[in-house]
Amino acid sequence: MYPKYDFAGQVALITGAASGMGRVTAKAFALAGAAVILVDRDELALQKVAAEIVDAGGKAVTVAGDVADEGVAKTAVTRAVSTFGRLDMAYNNAGVLGPMCPMMEETGEGYDAVNAVNLRGVWTFMKHELIQMKKQGSGAIVNCSSLGGLVGLPGRAAYHATKHGVIGLTKSAALDVAADGIRVNAICPGCIDTPMGDGIEPEAMKNFLKEQPIGRAGRPEEIASAVLWLCSAAASFVLGVALPVDGGFTAH
């Protein structure tokens, strides 16, 4: 289902690569010829994804760790450069949903845990990706926000706050490096059929999908297609955007 992109000789870094949208997008980059750096805290699942890519003829290395740890981000970028010589693209995808409850019932610990992955994790990786890309004078980054970065929904204050923050980070960083040959954008997925969605109660999911005019959950491959396009030369004049990939949810 992917358009034909030629990323041969290029290197892509993907966080949250062990499952869901990250896993599918990493495979899509590899299928298009890119070498991939896979990052996730689930080391066993990460190794499985890497093996699948290598068995299919691709190139993949893994870095296991917490995306909120700046040392992990620095290690991942360093690994990309030491192994493949450069870093051309990044999809900062790692995210967690966190507990769903009224804001008054959220805890500071819960808020900090969601923020650490969803917002600090994007900031940490983007910082080190941009340091390398600025040296090269080229690069493209896609950060994963959410339709929750564009609207508010009850019971998800911490999650939505972090996803709004990702859009702010994206726009500011895009302006920081626009003149350096680097493009930074964000995608805002709607309800996608991934393991993260398994944490949502069936009735809540049913009601949510009623608000997604296309009438179904999205597929991870549809997110991967948007990420690859934003990283490709086809999107060379696109930067600082928060692109909804949501089946029409935010159109009404």
Choose the weakest-confidence range: 2-16, 87-101, 166-180, 208-222.
208-222
pLDDT in tens, 204-223: 666 667 778 888 889 999 99
Question: What are the pLDDT digits (tens) for 126-168?
Answer: 999 999 999 999 999 999 999 999 999 888 999 999 999 999 9
At residue 197, the pLDDT reads: 61
Give the torsion sign (CA, 197, 154, 172, 226).
Answer: positive
Contact call for residues 7 and 34 (beta carbons, < 8 A):
yes
- Interhelix angle 157-177/121-136, rounded to 10 degrees, is 10
- Round to whole Å and give the CA distance between 153 and 15: 26
Residues in Cβ contact with 71 at an 8 Å cutoff, skipping those fewer than 6 apart: 65
- 173: number of Cβ within 10 Å: 24
- The question of whether 5 is a catalytic residue gets the answer no
Q: Which of 5, 91, 111, 159 is catalytic?
A: 159
pTM of the predicted structure, to 2 decimals? 0.94
Domains of the chain, earliest start first: 11-245 (3.40.50.720)
8 A C-beta contact, residue 182 and residue 140: yes
pLDDT at 25: 98
